[in-house]
């Protein structure tokens, strides 16, 4: 386990990174605004689950192996962008759900899966875990792989709490916008626009040197 000083520094750094607006924040907020608080929580849970999976990849050394293959970054980037475009298209072609209707369990699982896959298909997220986590690991504090898994899981828990609160706030805002057809359509169009913007961000993402 990392020492106390490294642990406090890690938690502080994680919180600072989370409050900076980014794609995960946009993903959770747009889902909560379009579908309600439960959808925001499902998105938050999916993002945290992907954090644990990416931590496992880094801990096992698989992340470094994947990213050492030159085309891997481009393949992940393009796959993630087209997946987000597909989500936007599906949102536009699916009939709008009334504002006061909570998403069904199947839809929540779908949102969870979308959030997980979206994060896993973001090559910069994997690179972030490869660069960020090892900074707080010391070989003198025990097994390095276990330290990485502990830190990655802790980051996932912090992110889950942060994104859940964010989703609840966005869900409250959705409720205050009213249940009219115009506001529902605006929510759908806004959601599709956010997904398209995230896709464009991935398409124009440069591979770090």
Residue-wise pLDDT for 1-21, tens only, equals: 667 777 888 999 999 988 888
DSSP letter, residue 178: -
Is 9 part of any domain? no
Is 5 part of any domain? no
Helix and strand numbers (H, E) in the chain are 9, 0
**Per-chain mean pLDDT for the chain:** 81
Is 17 part of any domain? no
Is 185 part of any domain? yes
- Looking at the predicted structure, is the pLDDT value of residue 207 above 80? no
What's the confidence (pLDDT) of residue 182?
Answer: 47
pTM over 0.85: no
Overall domain count for the chain: 1
Count of CB atoms within 10 A of residue 135's CB? 11
* Distance (Å, whole) CA 86 – CA 74: 18
Is 12 part of any domain? no
- Looking at the predicted structure, is the pLDDT value of residue 190 above 60? yes
Is 1 part of any domain? no
Is 90 part of any domain? yes
Domain residue limits at 33: 24-203
What contacts 120, CB < 8 A, 6 or more positions away?
50, 53, 54, 126
């Amino acid at each position: 386990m990392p020492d106390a000083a490294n642990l406090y520094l890690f938690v502080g750094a994680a919180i600072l990174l989370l409050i900076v607006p980014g794609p995960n924040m946009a993903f959770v907020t747009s889902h909560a605004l379009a579908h309600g608080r439960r959808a925001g929580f499902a998105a938050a849970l999916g993002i945290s689950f992907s954090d644990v999976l990416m931590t496992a990849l880094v801990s096992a050394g698989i992340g470094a192996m994947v990213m050492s293959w030159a085309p891997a970054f481009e393949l992940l980037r393009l796959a993630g962008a087209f997946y987000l475009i597909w989500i936007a298209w599906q949102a536009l072609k699916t009939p709008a759900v009334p504002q006061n209707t909570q998403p069904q369990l199947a839809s929540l699982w779908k949102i969870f899966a979308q959030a997980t896959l979206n994060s896993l298909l973001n090559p910069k997220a994997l690179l972030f875990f490869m660069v960020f986590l090892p900074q707080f690991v010391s070989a003198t504090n025990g097994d390095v792989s276990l330290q990485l898994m502990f830190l990655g899981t802790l980051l996932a828990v912090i992110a889950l709490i942060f994104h859940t609160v964010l989703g609840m706030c966005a869900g409250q805002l959705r409720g205050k916008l009213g249940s009219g057809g115009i506001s529902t359509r605006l929510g759908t169009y806004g959601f599709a626009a956010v997904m398209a913007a995230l896709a464009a961000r991935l398409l124009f993402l440069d591979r770090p040197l």
